[in-house]
Structure 1
């Protein structure tokens, strides 16, 4: 019984680290990407998606977590780079991580030779994981399971941890639908789009790490109120926008 309980606890902790942008966040990234696709890419992607929409499929990898046969995908949602180390110094875990998964899926979508599942499945994985790696706490420091063990009182709700605040709390606190959110933040210039789409995955990771000081800057009592939102909302919006723009760049290259 003790062994069973420990195994269950480990599984819960492992799964907790894999949670990502909430449903609104993933839909924002997918919709922004769709809005920046070429006409050819839109047609080719829609042929794969059928009746589904790019703005809605980003949550798929969270939905399939209910099936334990997909547990091997949990490490794909994040990577761990301790403070003061590079990705190379930290080393790639045997089970893989977000960087490895994104790189592999991009290559397989180009060659149509898939290690897991179909082109449709892998397209959904890519939409999800590009968004994930832009969430600062999905590039963890190796100390607190990406903020999952940091309990906080967010807007008078004590059920939060720091990871959940960044996944969904700040976004949902704006009280916008995902289409309203897209209209609010999607104002990138042509120069910004060109620059962001030219930057590789390690730039995305370095950006995420660069926000650690902001993420962990809160009172010792763990009470996160309007000031925390005010200081970090622009970061959340920038990460969502860059994720969508960069995802569009990848999909245009593959399908456009």
Structure 2
């Protein structure tokens, strides 16, 4: 029979190992829901009505995690590569080598294509609408346009307040969770911006937005060193960008939805 001390050591090892090596999918539930909630504030009345019909009254915040919810179902394995795009730093998406299995850009475009197709049934439209809401969130998480060699920062090991984690997870959820606001609080406290600023943020294409997110990914990689113990100062220097990307993701998601359901 193992002693209590031995069991404790084994459990501690397993907890540490799983924490350090776990891969994070994206913003995490709070981030995705924040983007969905923000988007709802920029939807046209007609758009809201059509979305409500498709989703049977469910909110964008509620369905925003759908892309991750289905990951454990083998039937949806084909959508896995749609959550990210890897391209060498300094190379635009247009000039980069494309993933033959698809990526964030092709995934979003496929969602739009299915939704716009008049022959698509309601069930399929709802499926791809929920996926679109999720992918637009992924597009604005810097590490989803990260380096291929470290899986978007998933193998970039460091510490967050003395606990083992990785750079992807820090940008995915660690900073958001540490800020300790609900998704509704984050959405309600987004920066107040003018209509002109909204139009400016909504300018561009999906490819342009991916290229922009890559510039933030580069900054994220430069913000930390492997093995570093990140603490309050890291939050102070970087959480403003997290909030900005959440707001930008919501505003741009609303633009796509207004176009799709106009």
Same fold, judged at TM 0.5 (above): yes
Matched residue, 1:146: 152
Q: Deviations over 1:147-171 (max 9, x none)?
A: 000111112221x111111111111
Structure 2 unmatched ranges of 5 or more: 1-21
1:170 aligns with 2:175: yes
Preserved CA contact (<8 Å) 1:32 1:186: no
1:208 Cα deviation (Å)?
A: 1.1
1:98 aligns with 2:86: no
1:161 aligns with 2:166: yes
For 1:54-203, list aligned pairs within 5 A.
54-113=60-119, 118-158=124-164, 160-203=165-208
Which structure has the larger Rg?
A: 2
> In structure 2, the residue corresponding to 1:82 is in which secondary structure?
coil
Matched residue, 2:237: 231
1:48 aligns with 2:54: yes
1:27 Cα deviation (Å)?
A: 0.3
1:210 Cα deviation (Å)?
A: 0.9
Query: In 1, distance between residues paired with 2:50 and 2:191?
Result: 23
- What count of residue pairs does the alignment treat as equivalent? 239
Question: Runs (4+) of structure 1 moved beyond 4 Å?
Answer: none
1:202 Cα deviation (Å)?
A: 1.8
Preserved CA contact (<8 Å) 1:28 1:240: yes
Preserved CA contact (<8 Å) 2:158 2:225: no
Query: In 2, distance between residues paired with 1:64 and 1:114?
Result: 21
Preserved CA contact (<8 Å) 2:23 2:169: no
1:110 Cα deviation (Å)?
A: 1.8
Matched residue, 1:208: 213
> In structure 2, the residue corresponding to 1:227 is in which secondary structure?
helix
